[in-house]
Amino acid sequence: MATYTGEKHAYLEVEKFLRDSIDNRMYSPGSLLPTEKSLCEMFGVSRMTIRQALNNLVNEKIIFRIRGKGSFVSNVMIEKPPVIQGFTDEITSMGMRPGSEMISFDRIVPSEGVRAALQLNADEMVYCFHRLRLADDAPMAVEYSYLPTKLFPNLDRFNLMENSLYGIIKHQYHVQFSFLAQQVRAVKLTRADAQRLLGTGSGFSLQVSRTLYSISNLPLEYSQTLYHPSKYSVNINIAQD
Amino acid sequence: MATYTGEKHAYLEVEKFLRDSIDNRMYSPGSLLPTEKSLCEMFGVSRMTIRQALNNLVNEKIIFRIRGKGSFVSNVMIEKPPVIQGFTDEITSMGMRPGSEMISFDRIVPSEGVRAALQLNADEMVYCFHRLRLADDAPMAVEYSYLPTKLFPNLDRFNLMENSLYGIIKHQYHVQFSFLAQQVRAVKLTRADAQRLLGTGSGFSLQVSRTLYSISNLPLEYSQTLYHPSKYSVNINIAQD
DNA sequence: CATACTCTGTTGTCTATACATTTTGTTTGC
DNA sequence: GCAAACAAAATGTATAGACAACAGAGTATG
């Protein structure tokens, strides 16, 4: 008999039991789970309740089922989907200490490319940050960030050296993200950026252009991050369904 | 009364009807779907059958449901997850005509990096293709592909100019893919590759390193594709859950 | 030996019903 | 008029059972 786990509903009890058992390797990848019938007896519930729990786990790809045979623990590791994060969170999750040096901070009329990416009218202005981004005090990237002034009034009052931009958008302006579109290119660095990032007069870089959208599909930020070519790479993992 | 669509099961009938109706914008994003009860009457089936159809659509994020209110069409566009494909399929899906020029084709002892990526022993050999990849007859990338000889005997007998490598692996050797790990970098081109790709003596490139795994997590292929920096970019879209 | 058949166990589909929970609108009482 | 109470509508949870479809093992038959 399974112990009571404090879940409100029977199917959640069953789910929790199976989840924990799989985590504990009591049921290891590829192994056969108890049949629906035995789970019914274990928990004293009907078969449809057990099936709800099992189907939820199937949808999370934790288990898979074969008619006539049984339910099995998935053998492939579950990969967590990528998350929307800026430079600060990314470097932190890589186990390094992020930092910033502000190169310039202006309120400008955007270039045509930036204007299009942010879907702005001709007369609307943007904040433009130009920052050298550090990881463990070493130059990791040069970043240009553009944000519409109409969406972020008084953005200059926040301390962008201490706080992440994405954190300010989320927690100070209370705007929710929904979508991040990124484009990765190899580009030639300007003289000034090559000097800042590489310490040389010229060079190339891995450029990531990002457009961040709110839940109402409004562009919130457009940025171009020029990463140090030998210190940084973008990883993309694709699992077949 | 809904018309018979030829589906084998009742819940598939309901699913198909709702899917089509949403595609036809009969139910547009954000709009309220018929209640479970009305669908029961429309199709003459029990409520649990309707619920199975609706829950399947919820799992596909096509609709969402709110207790006490009803079922609604999702307002965000469904983005199809990325698929595992090689150069040929990728260029084709971009609406261009892929092509190849074989630069070299050898059976060699792999370098340490390739050996590690393919998890091979010291004495095991690999096929190495070096190809100039074309899109609409113009150079798009230079590609190095490495495949263990033990996994793909007589690979040299297939026509790699006419058929895609991934297609041969799948359909001739009957091996199923499960996972593709990719790493994107900016790198300096060798003199020879710069000449082939750019027509100049030196330059940089967007390099994508790929390791393709079978369903049993066996590395099948390791490749490095050096893309033309001004003709190609990698796109990554992340949706918040 | 090989094939076909049957039997059993398992998951898949489906019904009919009951009650719980949440949302929303309506009515009632003050 | 306003707030509390009630009612109606919708989805969520759960039961007990029936039959279908599939897999695998064992058995019978040629």
- What span, in angstroms and rounded, lies between the C-alpha atoms of A10 and A18? 13
Q: Is A6 helix (H, G, I), strand (E, B) or coil?
A: coil
Tell me the two tokens of residue A94: 């890589």
Give the pLDDT confidence score for residue A7 in this predicted structure. 82
Nearest CA in chain B to A78: B179
Write down the pLDDT at residue B118. Answer: 97
Scanning residues 10 through 49 of protein chain A, those with a beta carbon under 7 Å from any atom of strand D turn out to be 10-12, 44-49
Neighbouring C-alpha atoms within 13 Å toward the C-beta of B42: 19
What pLDDT does A153 receive? 85
- pLDDT for the residue A4: 60
The gap between A70 CA and C4 C1' (Å) is: 26
pLDDT of residue B156: 83
Rounded CA-CA distance B98/A58 in Å is 38
pTM of the model: 0.82
| Chain A residue with the nearest C-alpha to that of B80 | A241
pLDDT in the model for residue B223? 97
Burial class (CB in 10 A: 0-12, 13-18, 19+), A120: buried
Mark the nucleotides of strand C covered by protein, meaning any atom under 7 Å from a CB: 9-18, 21-24
Name the nucleotide nearest A38; use CA and C1'.
Answer: C10
Q: Which residue of B has its CA nearest to A217?
A: B76
Contacts with B184 from chain A: Cβ below 8 Å: 184, 206, 233-236
pLDDT at residue A231, as a whole number:
97
Flag if A76 and B178 touch (Cβ within 8 Å).
yes
Rounded Cα–Cα distance for residues B14 and A66 (Å): 24
Q: How much is the pLDDT for B2? A: 54
How many Å separate Cα A144 from the centre of its chain?
Answer: 20
Q: Are B222 and B196 in contact (CB under 8 A)?
A: no
CB of A207 within 7 Å of some strand D atom: no
- Average pLDDT, 10 consecutive residues per value, chain A (241 residues): 72 97 94 96 96 96 95 84 89 94 94 96 94 96 96 82 80 85 97 97 96 89 97 92 65
Q: Which residues of chain B have pLDDT under 50?
A: none
Strand D contact at CB of residue B33, distance < 7 A: yes
Helix axes B47-59, B10-23, angle to 10 degrees: 50
Q: Looking at beta carbons, which pairs linking B158-166 to residues 24 or more positions away fall under 8 Å? A: B160/B100, B160/B102, B160/B105, B160/B129, B160/B131, B161/B100, B161/B102, B164/B86, B164/B87, B164/B88, B164/B89, B164/B98, B165/B86, B165/B88, B165/B129, B165/B221, B166/B84, B166/B85, B166/B86, B166/B88, B166/B89, B166/B212
Sort residue A50 into left (φ over 0), alpha (ψ -120 to 50) or beta: alpha
pLDDT at A148: 95
Nearest to B220 by CA among B130, B120, B74: B120
The closest alpha carbon to A58, from A47, A49, A71, belongs to A71
- What pLDDT score does B4 carry? 61
What letter represents residue A118's amino acid?
A: L
A127 token code pair: 């904040």
Q: Which of B59, B207, B241 sits opposite A59 (nearest CB)?
A: B59
Query: How far apart, in whole angstroms, are the C-alpha atoms of residue B58 and residue B72?
Result: 10
Query: In terms of Cα–Cα distance, which of B108, B110, B88 is closest to B100?
Result: B88
- Cβ–Cβ < 8 Å for B21, B27: yes
Which residues in chain B are contacts of A239 at CB distance < 8 A?
A: 178-179
The Cα–Cα gap between A41 and A44 comes to 5
